[in-house]
Structure 1
Amino acid sequence: MILNHVWVAFILLGFGAALVQLALGDVGVFGRVMAGIFDTAKTGFDISLGLVGVMSLWLGVMRIGEQAGVIQLFARALAPFFDRLFPGVPRGHPAAGSMVMNFSANMLGLDNAATPLGLKAMRELQALNPRKDTASDAMVTFLVLNTAGITLIPTSVIALRQAIAVEQGFTGFNGADIFLPTLLATFISFTAGLVAVAAWQRINLLCAPVLLFFAGFMGLTGALYAWLSTYPPARMAELVGLLGSGAVVSVIALFVAAGAWRRINVYECFVEGAREGFDVAVRIIPYLIAMLVAISIFRTTGGMDALIRLIAAAVAALGLDTRFVPALPVGLMKTLSGSGARGLMVDVLKTYGVNSFEGRLASIIQGSTETTFYVLAVYFGSVDIRKTRHALACGLIADAVGLVGAVAVGYAFYR
């Protein structure tokens, strides 16, 4: 299992770096490592515990949607596209509907809604999986597209930029000015992940359903940008928030209304689905803590900083512009930790300014990349998958291409 090798590498490389620092006279290095280990172990438990409520909510809502037939309608609407990417999932299977809901939540930047919906999809895909300890093709495809998922509106990034702009004294600042560059960067990442999985699994992407999906996405992107760009920054931020929250509440109301119309006891149905939330949240605790602890050791001992310095030296030796290097840690950290990457982005924004090239690029990277190792640990851990096959390789390809794409887009827009 490749996650085993990654986990071992993080810990042993971090331990080796700590020994070097100790030899150089840093007697506090192991104290920092130990503090980081215990802090991240607690963080992993807190994250899992925090998921209990939201998991119960969304699994309850999804059970209503399934019983009312709404999920099946969503699945049938996208059946031609999903048949190409997930040939092992039968038409009309609940897994297709759950994947549609998960992708929709990711596109709207609704992480709290996307995670339980993704876990629900993984449980349903596991029901179709003949080898319960090994990821199926459908699971790998779903996970890679999830880690490289398209985000139409980077809501949290826009909000952070707007708040920091106020601190820095900018008036009339447009925190959503990175909307289109971020969308382009995340589209590059999504395409790279899709192509990597298709090449590995020999999926033909040159077909009408897939091409129509890409054409529809680009049309939707253009229409959304044309609509939002006509408003001033404050109003744009309001509309972005309304779009996300309105979509969530509307879905809940739609499911409940459909269930009532079908004469389903929606309350009992919700409770029945919500009971699963606790079991799923508890099951992911050991997987999440294991990954977060290894990442903490690697980061606390300076492994990430050393990697950044190596990249900066290589770029400078080639005579290339190094202005993107301060934003690079955000992208590298994002594959490991979403909260860590968010902290690094805020640091760049405060150090260089929200309207600087470095600040804008860090925001684009934060809004267009995903926490690959977190998603692998949580999603596969929730269904006890130990052999992840090519999921990590394809996910990292999407991350790497997406990061390069984000830098290229940043230079194209803010050179």
Structure 2
Amino acid sequence: MVLSRFWLVIFISSIVFVVISLFSGNSYTIDYVLNGKKDDPILLSEKYINQVPVFIKDSIKNAPDQTMIINRDTLNADTTYVYKNKTVKIFSGVQKSDGLLPTCKSTLLDLILPLMAYLAFFCGLMELLIISGATEKFARILSPVFVKVFPSIPKNHPSISYMTLNFAANFLGLDSAATPFGLKAMESLQEINPEKDKASDAQIMFMCLHASGLTLIATSIIGYRAAANAANPADVMLPCIITSFIGTIAAFLIVGVKQKINFKSASLVTGLMVLIAAIVGLLMYVNHLDLIGKNYFTSNLSALILVGIIASTLILSFIKEKKFAEAKTTVYETFVTGANNGVKTGVIIFPYVLGMLVAISLFRNSGLFEIISNWIAFAFSNMGVSKEITDALPVALLRPFSSAGSRGFLIDSMNTFGADSLTGRLSSIFQCSAESTFYVIAVYFGSVNIKNTQYALGTMLLVDLICVITAILVASWFF
């Protein structure tokens, strides 16, 4: 219900704002909202050639392509005058994201189809783990901790192993693997959900922990920083880990209090201490490496572990081939069955993702997002927050809505202010310390047709806010 109303508010308010801007004269056309492409110039007005300044008119006539560009300043897009069909079109600024119709197309071609391919492959592997009995053994080992965090899940339930693989993939920055494992976990949790259209306690806890974005190896962020010529691309790794870990603990405590979880459980405390020890150990190891060593370690660990998971799954399937024979199938046929289920899941979630991304596209292109961002930045600056911090806030504000959009802001902030500036580093921490909340909710809850997400959205947004505040404090402390 909350998600539905939020979606409607974004959609309707954006449309109203666009229409008002058109009829109030603030916008010349709204076609870009429907058909425009990201980074396309925006049409501001159209005049007859006699209505433009004389020096511009002369320049246009003398130009071979009858186009003139005036450099306004280094921070804003150029103003372009194009003479065509007896009128001069004046463009300035660029579009923030694809329009509504291009978003529909790119959602299918650039997002859903690749996601379906990932789902097909990893769901095929998951099916091998199920038939081979690996998931059952995995669940048995981890049950003592998971039954405390998810008391409504039966002991040794298969969802435990799926959730573990999802968390592990997130920890290592393996986004392509995390989503299929997570969707399989939601599907498994839905089987024991007494109210099929309403999110269960276990599903909410899983979603909030997943969305808190605990990452140990921020591979993509390090890659972006390296491309931006950062002196030490991996220097944000420790702040990213600290910020995302605090966000994860906050998510667990907030949902745990709501669900009345026993925080004094010995197995729960032990599991938490093991996790903290693993993080501290990793940090100590990475900290003693030189620059080349850090880059080599972070770029290879995640990929090596993913290859290890694939190899171990196939080897185990070969060893346990008798179990596949007992199930009247083969290893390859089992993989194909799982892959087919992955494709079906991709088809199911497509409408949910499409609806959310189209609303976000409209929200950004309407100008509402920029106005809200400026208000928030103005409020922060009046509270004494430095400009270096407020310049990074667009990344934090857009992150819950769109990973691609916030990534664009991240790259822009590093190009504008420098990868080694506080703004560039803080933007990097914002990008890796949380998930795209609305996308995650649309994908995961949509995959099992849950309509009532209860308090999941509110909790995830609160955790996003905690991560933003933590990131600012950590970045100020480190840099």
Do they fold alike, i.e. is TM over 0.5? yes
Matched, 1:333 2:391: no
Residues 289-347 of structure 1: CA distance to partner in whole angstroms, max 9, x if unpaired? 10001111111111221112111221232333342111111111110011111111000
Runs of 4+ in 1 over 3 A off after TM superposition: 26-29
Q: Tell me how far apart the structure 1 counterparts of residues 346 and 357 of structure 2 sit (CA, whole Å).
A: 16
TM-score norm. by structure 1 comes to 0.95
- The correspondence of residues 74-223 of structure 1 with structure 2, limited to 5 A, is 74-165=138-229, 173-223=231-281
| Residue of structure 1 equivalent to 2:473 | 408
Q: Mind listing any 5+ residue stretches in structure 2 that lack a counterpart?
A: 36-98, 325-329
Residues 53-89 of structure 1: CA distance to partner in whole angstroms, max 9, x if unpaired? 1111111101111122222222222212210121121
Q: Tell me how far apart the structure 1 counterparts of residues 271 and 155 of structure 2 sit (CA, whole Å).
A: 18
- The correspondence of residues 6-405 of structure 1 with structure 2, limited to 5 A, is 6-35=6-35, 36-46=99-109, 47-165=111-229, 173-263=231-321, 264=324, 265-405=330-470
Change (3 A) 1:96 1:29: farther
Q: Tell me how far apart the structure 2 counterparts of residues 413 and 24 of structure 1 sit (CA, whole Å).
A: 47
Contact 2:212 2:460 in 1 (8 A): yes
- Compare CA radii of gyration and give the structure with the larger one: 2
Q: Tell me how far apart the structure 1 counterparts of residues 12 and 5 of structure 2 sit (CA, whole Å).
A: 10
Q: Tell me how far apart the structure 1 counterparts of residues 121 and 396 of structure 2 sit (CA, whole Å).
A: 31
Change (3 A) 1:228 1:318: closer
Q: Tell me how far apart the structure 2 counterparts of residues 174 and 228 of structure 1 sit (CA, whole Å).
A: 13
Q: CA deviation at 1:402?
A: 0.9
Q: Tell me how far apart the structure 1 counterparts of residues 160 and 14 of structure 2 sit (CA, whole Å).
A: 41
Q: Which moved more, 1:350-359 or 1:9-18?
A: 9-18
SS in 2 for 1:355: coil
Q: Tell me how far apart the structure 2 counterparts of residues 238 and 29 of structure 1 sit (CA, whole Å).
A: 50
Residues 356-389 of structure 1: CA distance to partner in whole angstroms, max 9, x if unpaired? 0000000011111110100000011111111111
Contact 1:80 1:209 in 2 (8 A): yes
Q: CA deviation at 1:231?
A: 2.5
Q: Which moved more, 1:203-212 or 1:110-119?
A: 203-212
- What is the letter of the counterpart of residue 5 of structure 2? H
SS in 1 for 2:204: helix
SS in 1 for 2:127: helix
Residues 380-414 of structure 1: CA distance to partner in whole angstroms, max 9, x if unpaired? 11111111111101111111111111111111111
The alignment yields a C-alpha RMSD, in angstroms, of 1.4
Q: CA deviation at 1:238?
A: 2.0
Q: Tell me how far apart the structure 2 counterparts of residues 326 and 29 of structure 1 sit (CA, whole Å).
A: 29
Contact 2:410 2:431 in 1 (8 A): yes
Contact 1:98 1:117 in 2 (8 A): yes
Residues 258-280 of structure 1: CA distance to partner in whole angstroms, max 9, x if unpaired? 22212233222211211101100
Which structure has the highest helix share of the two?
1
Which structure has the highest strand share of the two?
2
SS in 2 for 1:9: helix
SS in 1 for 2:245: helix
Q: Which moved more, 1:12-21 or 1:343-352?
A: 12-21
Q: Tell me how far apart the structure 2 counterparts of residues 199 and 279 of structure 1 sit (CA, whole Å).
A: 36
TM-score norm. by structure 2 comes to 0.83
Change (3 A) 1:43 1:210: farther
Q: Mind listing any 5+ residue stretches in structure 1 that lack a counterpart?
A: none
- What is the letter of the counterpart of residue 16 of structure 1? V
- What is the letter of the counterpart of residue 144 of structure 1? C
Contact 2:381 2:390 in 1 (8 A): no
Q: Tell me how far apart the structure 1 counterparts of residues 295 and 150 of structure 2 sit (CA, whole Å).
A: 36
Query: How many aligned positions are there?
Result: 408
- What is the letter of the counterpart of residue 108 of structure 2? F
SS in 2 for 1:289: helix
Q: Which moved more, 1:276-285 or 1:81-90?
A: 81-90
Q: Tell me how far apart the structure 1 counterparts of residues 196 and 431 of structure 2 sit (CA, whole Å).
A: 34
SS in 2 for 1:176: helix
- What is the letter of the counterpart of residue 55 of structure 1? L
Q: CA deviation at 1:29?
A: 4.7
Contact 1:55 1:277 in 2 (8 A): yes
Q: Tell me how far apart the structure 1 counterparts of residues 20 and 475 of structure 2 sit (CA, whole Å).
A: 37
Residues 101-126 of structure 1: CA distance to partner in whole angstroms, max 9, x if unpaired? 00000000111110111111111111
Q: CA deviation at 1:17?
A: 2.2
Q: Tell me how far apart the structure 2 counterparts of residues 212 and 200 of structure 1 sit (CA, whole Å).
A: 22
**Percent of aligned positions that are identical:** 36
Contact 1:107 1:151 in 2 (8 A): yes
Q: Tell me how far apart the structure 2 counterparts of residues 314 and 339 of structure 1 sit (CA, whole Å).
A: 26
Contact 1:308 1:325 in 2 (8 A): no
